[in-house]
Amino acid sequence: MKRTYKVSPKKIGLRTWSKQFEKISTETISRYRYYNNGEWGIYLSPPATFMVYGMRELKRLKFDNSFEALRMWGFVFNETERLFRAKQIGKKVIATMGDLGVVPILVMSFPECVPFYPECLWWTPFFKESTELLDTASKLGVPEATCFSRAVVAAFHKKAYFPKPDLIIASTGASCDDYSCVMQTVEDMGYEVFWAEIPYRKSPEFFLNKPKPQILEKTKEGFVYPKILEEHLIREYKRIWQALFKLTGVNNPHRLVDTIKKINTLRRLVMGIKRMNEEAPIAPIPALELMVIEFGNLYGYADFDEWLEIVEMIYHLVKDRVAKGIGVLKKDAIPIAWVTPSADPYLLNLVEECGCRVVTTEYVINQALVQIEEDIEPLRALARAFINASLIGSTEERIKKIKEKIVKKQVKGVLITNMLGASHCAMETRLIEKLLSDVPILSIDVPAPFGITQQIKTRLEAFVEAMR
Amino acid sequence: MELIGYTCSYIPVEILSATGLKPYRLLHGEITLSQQGEQHLRVDACPLIKSNLGFILKNQKNFACIIGSTGCDMARRWIEIVKSTTNIPVYIFNNPRTDNFEIYSAEIDELVSELEQFFHRRFDKSLIQKECEKWEGIRQRLIAIDGRRRANPSAISTTTFHKIMNFYHQGRLEEIPYQIPDEISYKPRIFLLGSPVSYESAPFIELIEQRLRICGDFNCGLSRGIHIKILEKSIEGLKKAYFYQPGCIFKRPNIGYYEWVEKEIKATKSTGIIAFVLDYCDNFDFEIHRMEKRFSLPILKLKSDFSFQNMSQMKIRIDAFIDVLASYRGGIV
């Protein structure tokens, strides 16, 4: 995909973006469209448009100034509209909740089915700088000291953020309690929910005896697990497949093979971008954009084909910047690892302003980053991919890669972003601090929207000082 | 080492007891223990988890091993903390949240195999049958005691029942009394539910029972375990009995929990509900709103971190609740 104009990479605000946007031709604007619809699928707008629509935080954020990033933001912020359009044109909109990575692959293997993750709405209160969704959740009985994903309860209640799903597939088990409770609350509100089990990945140290090698298997990522785990997952995926068959009347396993290939293409591109970002002397792309790219692996923001093109475009941008030795941050920015995504996007900007660059992440979606095997039975391949999930096993396994990067001195500090009361944050943080104690670690509780204070900034500055 | 620790109602005590050790349910909840646990966990971790960690750190020499469960996220992750802070061998039992008997069944088979190998014991049919009979016998006695608590008028207080259940949960079966004097009460009858009631929760129960009588409950630490009925005294029978026990609120969907509690509230003729909710216990905190709608009875939600600092406040709230109960019966609320 050809870029429309060239600029030196830097981070810019809304005003600059709006001026830059004037240089983009109408022809170019009309070229990019979701669901390939030229009538209503055009999504290219300056970020200021979305600020006017209510995304107030955008006026504080700094964005990559490339056309590629502009295209990405336009597409991502357009998702709500896209989901309603999908419904209008007869597509089936399927809410996939809780598993973060595999169920949408099954959904996309059925014709005219669009998966989406309601939990991705956890960013919305922050982008909007509004506690409306969180307050509504509280009014509906959701406790305040829980993960920001509680916004999902309010979104289901308000019926304005996505259309009524044709099917809700809720995965629970070895997952976080907060979101399991959110999903149960959604069911209590009268929505019909299809429940699926996420079994626990028991590593050998949680057996009393040394397990026999023949009962164990190892993923390419290095996670050791009992083989039976695959069978448990396959059984669940077969149930989901049947539910989708019942919904659509279509049963074509070949489509799953094709979908896996497409998913792998996206995952390869994203891993390529991550790798280039990690290895380049200068950060080729900001952490905020990188987080959005990484999360796109979950479901392609409800139009997978278009998202794939966008990521391909960004891949070439990053490759070009790395080849030229240019980027968006200073060369002496300190490389850090980020553990658990921040619900407040502004924090990603702030960390870079303080002199850091994010070179590696553990955003609880490892299962959405790995390659899916293409030479074995597809449901087994999905199971084997999901077994790499971030939260279904031990904390030690979760941060193993970061530990390796610390040893190799590729990472000089670790930032952990928590939510007060969120089950895995409460239990994992101290252990992570202990396991990664060779470098400075900063653990932050992400405050409510518009709540980042001077205190957090000071703590970030102190963290940077400690690393220097 | 005489104890085998465990954390969840879905882990069959009969299997643990077949090791020759006393099954000890980790149900500690006490503020100084909790503070010790906080040295390894964030302040917003479950108070029960923190207290149990504090207890284990002080008493690790008594435990041959600990069998944890994936019941809730914090309980599962707690085992990893135990592993990183003690030398106690640990095992995590994968208790499915959904209606997935296959996983549960496979996990029980694996647990049996692990324990047999670890303790060099064969859990043959006769041993399992003997354990089933022993524990079933105890549970029948406890059901009889509970029957007197549930009677109208209630003849045994939950304060007493809690002490007895502590023996059951700590594997001190020989200390469960045969004779319990009557403690007839005509106080307003209420049902207790919510987070686990700890071994150290007696002052909290006594406070409630100064003005009310708890005639029934659905809490770990109280009567939950005694409702398990083993029909077939074998491993297969244990699987069915434990998997299909009255549903935990953690289950998805958790309709089974509501159906059981609703039935129990009616059976015990309770006129109100006290929900005991530990700080950061999502599973109950999220459900209070729904309970209010579903049970159509006044509910008093008492939040706790296991400290007794707010006892005066609790007392006032309980008094106010009694007023609500009175007016509710009069049709005013």
Q: Name the residue of chain A whose CA is nearest to B277's CA.
A: A143
- Answer yes or no: do A141 and B289 touch at CB < 8 A: yes
- In tens, the pLDDT along A129-156 reads 999 999 999 999 999 999 999 999 999 9
Q: Name the residue of chain B whose CA is nearest to A188's CA.
A: B290
Among A208, A225, A230, the strongest candidate for a mutation testing the B interface, having the largest count of B CBs within 10 A, is: A208
Domain stop point among B64, B92, B119: B119
Which one of B73, B102, B285 has the shortest CB-CB distance to A424? B73
- Mean pLDDT for chain B overall: 96
Q: Is there a single domain that holds both residue B157 and residue B304?
A: yes
pLDDT band at A5 (very low <50, low <70, confident <90, very high): low
Q: Is there a single domain that holds both residue B29 and residue B171?
A: no
The percentage of residues in chain A with a pLDDT greater than 70, rounded to a whole number, is 99
Which one of B77, B91, B97 has the shortest CB-CB distance to A173? B97
pLDDT band at B149 (very low <50, low <70, confident <90, very high): very high
Among B42, B50, B195, the strongest candidate for a mutation testing the A interface, having the largest count of A CBs within 10 A, is: B42
Domain stop point among B87, B119, B151: B119
DSSP-assigned letters across all residues of B206-266: HHHHTT-EEEEEE-TTTTGGGG---SS-SHHHHHHHHHTSSPPTTSSS-HHHHHHHHHHHH
- Answer yes or no: do B44 and A176 touch at CB < 8 A: no
Is B109 within 8 Å of chain A by CB?
A: no
Q: What CATH number corresponds to the domain at position B268?
A: 3.40.50.11900
In the block, which residue shows the tokens 């209008």? A88
Q: Is there a single domain that holds both residue B107 and residue B147?
A: no
Q: Name the residue of chain A whose CA is nearest to B289's CA.
A: A141
Total tally of structural domains belonging to chain B: 2
Q: Name the residue of chain A whose CA is nearest to B284's CA.
A: A181
The percentage of residues in chain B with a pLDDT greater than 90, rounded to a whole number, is 95
* pLDDT higher than threshold 50 for residue A290: yes
**Confidence at residue A213, expressed as pLDDT on a 0 to 100 scale:** 96
- Answer yes or no: do A427 and B42 touch at CB < 8 A: yes
A138: Cβ contacts below 8 Å, ≥ 6 apart: A144
* pLDDT higher than threshold 60 for residue B330: no
Q: Is there a single domain that holds both residue B73 and residue B151?
A: no
Q: Is there a single domain that holds both residue B130 and residue B114?
A: no
pLDDT band at B329 (very low <50, low <70, confident <90, very high): low
Which one of A197, A205, A418 has the shortest CB-CB distance to B96? A197
The percentage of residues in chain B with a pLDDT greater than 70, rounded to a whole number, is 98
Q: Is there a single domain that holds both residue B103 and residue B199?
A: no
Domain stop point among B119, B140, B160: B119
Q: Which two tokens stand for residue A432?
A: 């992570």
Q: Is there a single domain that holds both residue B97 and residue B200?
A: no
pLDDT band at B282 (very low <50, low <70, confident <90, very high): confident
Nearest-Cα distance to chain A for B226, in Å, is 25
- In tens, the pLDDT along B39-98 reads 999 999 999 999 999 999 999 999 999 999 998 999 999 999 999 999 999 999 999 999
- Answer yes or no: do B118 and A176 touch at CB < 8 A: no
- Answer yes or no: do B92 and A206 touch at CB < 8 A: yes
Rounded Cα distance between A376 and A378, Å, is 6
- Mean pLDDT for chain A overall: 96
Q: Name the residue of chain A whose CA is nearest to B280's CA.
A: A421
SS3 B114: helix
Cβ(A240)–Cβ(A169) below 8 Å: yes
- In tens, the pLDDT along B190-217 reads 999 999 999 999 999 999 999 999 999 9
Q: Is there a single domain that holds both residue B130 and residue B39?
A: no
Which one of B45, B96, B252 has the shortest CB-CB distance to A184? B252
ipTM for the complex shown: 0.96
Among B73, B248, B257, the strongest candidate for a mutation testing the A interface, having the largest count of A CBs within 10 A, is: B73
**Confidence at residue A145, expressed as pLDDT on a 0 to 100 scale:** 93
Which one of B74, B250, B253 has the shortest CB-CB distance to A426? B74
Is B50 within 8 Å of chain A by CB?
A: no
Scan residues 157-216 of B and list those with Cβ closer than 8 Å to A.
none
Which one of A170, A173, A420 has the shortest CB-CB distance to B96? A173
Q: What CATH number corresponds to the domain at position B82?
A: 3.40.50.11890
pLDDT band at A16 (very low <50, low <70, confident <90, very high): very high
Is B301 within 8 Å of chain A by CB?
A: no
Q: Is there a single domain that holds both residue B36 and residue B170?
A: no
* pLDDT higher than threshold 60 for residue A1: no
* pLDDT higher than threshold 80 for residue A281: yes
Is B41 within 8 Å of chain A by CB?
A: yes
The strand order across the sheet containing A92-97 reads A113-116, A92-97, A167-173, A194-198
pLDDT band at A2 (very low <50, low <70, confident <90, very high): very low
Which one of B98, B115, B286 has the shortest CB-CB distance to A197? B98
Q: Which two tokens stand for residue A240?
A: 């989901």
- Answer yes or no: do B286 and A431 touch at CB < 8 A: no
Rounded Cα distance between B278 and B275, Å, is 10
Rounded Cα distance between A42 and B315, Å, is 62
CA distances from A120 to A84, A168, B53 (A): 16, 15, 34
Q: Is there a single domain that holds both residue B185 and residue B319?
A: yes
Q: Is there a single domain that holds both residue B130 and residue B113?
A: no
pLDDT band at B327 (very low <50, low <70, confident <90, very high): confident
The conformation of residue B188, written as its DSSP 8-state character, comes to P
- Answer yes or no: do B252 and A420 touch at CB < 8 A: no
Angle between helices A346-353 and A454-467 (to 10 degrees): 50
- Answer yes or no: do B117 and A208 touch at CB < 8 A: yes
**Confidence at residue B332, expressed as pLDDT on a 0 to 100 scale:** 44
Residues of B in contact with A418 (CB under 8 A): 42
The mean per-residue pLDDT over the stretch A426-444 comes to 97
pLDDT band at A7 (very low <50, low <70, confident <90, very high): confident
Q: What is the residue range of B113's domain?
A: 3-119
Residues of A in contact with B46 (CB under 8 A): 426
- Answer yes or no: do B84 and A173 touch at CB < 8 A: no
* pLDDT higher than threshold 60 for residue B333: no
Cβ(B97)–Cβ(A197) below 8 Å: yes
- Answer yes or no: do A427 and B73 touch at CB < 8 A: yes
- In tens, the pLDDT along A305-356 reads 999 999 999 999 999 999 999 999 999 999 999 999 999 999 999 999 999 9
Q: Is there a single domain that holds both residue B74 and residue B166?
A: no
The mean per-residue pLDDT over the stretch A263-281 comes to 98
**Confidence at residue B71, expressed as pLDDT on a 0 to 100 scale:** 86
pTM (2 d.p.): 0.97
- Answer yes or no: do B252 and A175 touch at CB < 8 A: no
- In tens, the pLDDT along A456-465 reads 999 999 999 9
* pLDDT higher than threshold 60 for residue A4: no
pLDDT band at B328 (very low <50, low <70, confident <90, very high): confident
Number of helices (H) and strands (E) in chain B: give both, helices first: 13, 8
Nearest-Cα distance to chain B for A173, in Å, is 5
